């Protein structure tokens, strides 16, 4: 049976460095949540704290209605009903696929009939029944990953933790495995925390994303809300593909800092210094929004399949734009942005 998770005031320091700082996180039962952030943001330490592999310094962790960690009470990792899928799969090389799945269940002293039923179900749902007698060395990387997921499912955890589970796979296999893996956990109605530094991966798998920075959660929302309304320049810059351009808002118009270019209408933006968020796909021909026209110099272009990704210089600033063709490098390019898509961050 899946469970909700509540982390309250979690703090942790390692080697004199603050890794987690008074962090709160609430996840509903059956929800898939990604922890997204750069290296050192604290996401893996938070995951390991939830799993019981690291003790926080302060705070409380509740799984369902049960406290699994507090400063007064600690439930051992093996009793938390938490399953973990590691980056390196962590399979026993001397055991068959079925052996890897049943080992932990036997350690729990479950009846053999129940072990057989759990292993059989996990192998069926991960399409591994034909490989039950093979050893990990006889499997592909994607198959080994499925074994790691099947082992986790066989334990029937209240919460599943994924720590960069696809980073060892090549790009094409990673996308296939991501789709397959999330179809599986959603079919099993599992509560999932998924750690990644890959923005596209987090966007694809999550009901909500917690963007982490310096041991805190900078923004916790749906993928769409984070993409369309980042709360600050860090989130906008990290979430992928955006350009964040400094400037000033005056009388509802945004002027790019240091650029001899027209001003943009930015509805609702507060007066003063700010950062304009420019999404590549928002770029339009100059005549589409003549009141929101900018002009810059083309620095580079790269073919993206359906469009060209341009780097365009606006004075001392640089923006990335998606464009239907590749203008000559060094040429001038006039473009516009829809006013309703012009978000100015003031922090």
Would you state the structure tokens that stand for residue 37, as one six-digit string? 């952030």
Helix (H, G, I), strand (E, B) or coil at 173: helix
- Tens digits of residue pLDDT in 163-206: 888 777 777 777 777 887 788 778 878 899 999 888 888 998 99
- Bridge partner list, 311: 300, 320
Integer Cα distance of 50 and 69 in angstroms:
8
Lowest mean pLDDT among 235-239, 318-322, 336-340: 235-239
pLDDT averaged over the chain? 90
pLDDT at 298: 97
DSSP string, 96-152: -HHHHHHHHHHHTT--HHHHHHHHHHHHHHTT-GGGTT--GGGS-HHHHHHHHHHHH
pTM: 0.86
- Tens digits of residue pLDDT in 91-102: 899 999 999 999
- Domains (range + CATH), the chain: 5-233 (3.40.50.300), 243-345 (2.40.50.140)
Would you state the structure tokens that stand for residue 35, as one six-digit string? 């922890």
For residues 262 and 293, is the Cβ–Cβ distance under 8 A? yes
pLDDT at 1: 67
For residues 75 and 67, is the Cβ–Cβ distance under 8 A? yes
Token pair 């009939």: residue: 113
């Amino acid at each position: 049976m899946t469970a909700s998770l509540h982390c309250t005031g979690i703090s942790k320091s390692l080697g004199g460095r603050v890794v987690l700082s008074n962090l709160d996180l609430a996840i509903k039962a059956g929800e898939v949540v990604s922890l997204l952030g750069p290296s050192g943001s604290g996401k893996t330490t938070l995951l390991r704290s939830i799993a019981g592999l690291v003790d926080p310094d302060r705070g409380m962790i509740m799984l369902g209605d049960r406290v699994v960690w507090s400063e007064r009470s600690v439930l051992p990792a093996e009793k938390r009903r938490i399953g973990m899928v590691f980056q390196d799969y962590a399979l026993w090389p001397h055991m068959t696929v079925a052996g890897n799945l049943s080992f932990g269940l036997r350690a729990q002293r479950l009846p053999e009939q129940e072990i057989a039923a759990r292993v059989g179900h996990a192998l069926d749902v991960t399409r591994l029944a034909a490989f039950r007698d093979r050893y990990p060395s006889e499997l592909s990387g994607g198959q080994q990953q499925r074994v790691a997921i099947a082992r986790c499912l066989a334990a029937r955890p209240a919460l599943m933790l994924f720590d960069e589970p696809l980073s060892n796979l090549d790009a094409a296999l990673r996308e296939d495995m991501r789709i397959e893996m999330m179809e599986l956990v959603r079919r099993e109605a599992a509560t999932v925390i998924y750690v990644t530094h890959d923005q596209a991966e987090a966007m694809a798998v999550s009901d909500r994303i917690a963007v982490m920075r310096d041991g805190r959660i900078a923004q916790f929302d749906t993928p769409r809300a984070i993409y369309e309304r980042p709360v600050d320049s860090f989130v906008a810059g990290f979430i992928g593909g955006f350009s964040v351009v400094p400037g000033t808002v005056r009388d509802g118009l945004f002027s790019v800092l240091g650029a001899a270019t027209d001003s943009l209408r930015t509805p609702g933006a507060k007066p003063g210094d700010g950062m304009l968020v420019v999404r590549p796909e928002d770029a339009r021909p100059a005549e589409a929004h003549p009141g929101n026209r900018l002009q810059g110099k083309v620095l580079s272009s790269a073919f993206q399949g359906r469009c060209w990704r341009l780097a365009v210089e606006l004075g001392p600033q640089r923006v990335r734009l998606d464009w239907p063709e590749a203008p000559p490098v060094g040429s001038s390019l006039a473009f516009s942005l829809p006013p309703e898509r012009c978000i100015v961050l003031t922090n």
